[in-house]
Structure 1
Amino acid sequence: MSAATIASPASAADNASAVVRMRDVKFRWPGARGFGLQIDSFTLPARAKVLLVGPSGTGKSTVLSLLCGIVAPSSGTLEVMGTDLTRLSHSARDRFRVEHFGIIFQMFNLLPYGSVLDNVMLPLSFSSVRARRASQGGTVEAEARRLLDSLGLDAHQFANHSTAALSVGQQQRVAAARALIGAPEIIVADEPTSALDRNRQLAFLDLLFAEADKAGAAVIMVSHEEELGKRFDQVVRLDEICRAQRGSAAA
């Protein structure tokens, strides 16, 4: 097994306002040689923008899966919004995730034959809390259209288009609007800019951060491109702080 350790120093003020706290977290994927991850300490302050950087295979996506409750650690403490996810059942973690997280997947995971609006509003079908937030200023459709326009996709032109007919950049904006709708407290993004050139990457981040700031959301994103870190409040370099082992001795 290979193992990685992540340490993230945080100030007392950051800890007091943290939306995520991970301490002594251990996880390994199934199999004798499965990848293993140990997180000594990681804190995500409220409203912060944090970039996790490192080459493929260092555990960036695994950290996000743990943080969102997609997978559960074998030991340690994982607190999100004051709730210890290690004490929740799988179904309870799923419910918690849709209430508090907006996720931009690397491959976007859009419904290919659903309309743009259908995709953006999808999380509201599973979260009454986010549905109420999305309708505070009017209808949920109006909020979906506002987000699309704010993220650079003309809602008047594209709202009823199938997402399968969109370009990669357009699909990315739909995925971001879906993550942001209903103002979840934490936005998680897994390599969302990997298919874009640098100018489009930076433009997308500026739009995403502007909407996250409006919602008061923290953003945590993984990428192999450390140059993007200039746009973030904090950069955590996994390749500099990990220790890896191979074989059964690592268990």
Structure 2
Amino acid sequence: MRIGRYIAGGRKPWAIGYAEYKNRALRRILRDESLLDRFRRRAALPDGYGSRLDERLVEYPWLVARLGVAAGRLLDAGSTLNDREVLALPALRARSVVISNLTEEPVILGEHVSYVRGDLRLASFRDGCFDEVACISVLEHIGMNNTFIYSPDSRRNESRPQDYVKAVRELKRVLKPRGRLLLTVPYGRYENHEWLQQFDRDHIRAVCDTFDGTACNVDYYKYAGSWQIADESACTESRYFDIHRRGALEPDYVAAARAVACVELVH
């Protein structure tokens, strides 16, 4: 019903039915092995991929493609994976998943899932206890005003945009040797939206330098009416569309980020 209304209304971002339509698309994508293989191979995406939908259409399949199906202990830093259907995917079901967030999360029962509440800048885990860490669209919120959307705790109204480096250090600390940190952030011109910041080239360099591992691989995806893999140089001027501040949609019907950096760091 809501999806039908969304389609009939011209598929406008954030309209009634947008979330349901996007989630239905994601469910199909995350079980489409041929499409996941495109992310794995850094190949071009189909024409019109993710039109009028936000960057989750890139971030989730990029992560799942990078994870593959393997046993191990995975930290979901920021709780982006706390979704019943996502946690049921083979790539997640094969792992022991620990979900960590600032606020309490809805609990999804499963033998392979557990929950911890905490601040990623001072993680409550011992050294070297995870094989992998997923930090999907979280780093840009660290040290920012998280009371705007995510938390009622007034202590979370912060303006410490450099604190993301503290989180990167902690996420490396909790990884085993040769462990991987898989993270995504909105990318383009540097922008401070108070509740999030958009990363630029210097920020990505700082992430890689702070982690100081054996490898730092970055994939870029750009929105220009639909999502497509891109060179970094094509993304540097991208602007973030903040629906909470702007209100009116823009001609390209972008939903949020116009580019995203997907970073794989190896301890």
TM class, shorter-chain normalised? 0.3 to 0.5
Higher helix residue share: 1
| Larger relative contact order (CA 8 Å, sep ≥ 6) | 1
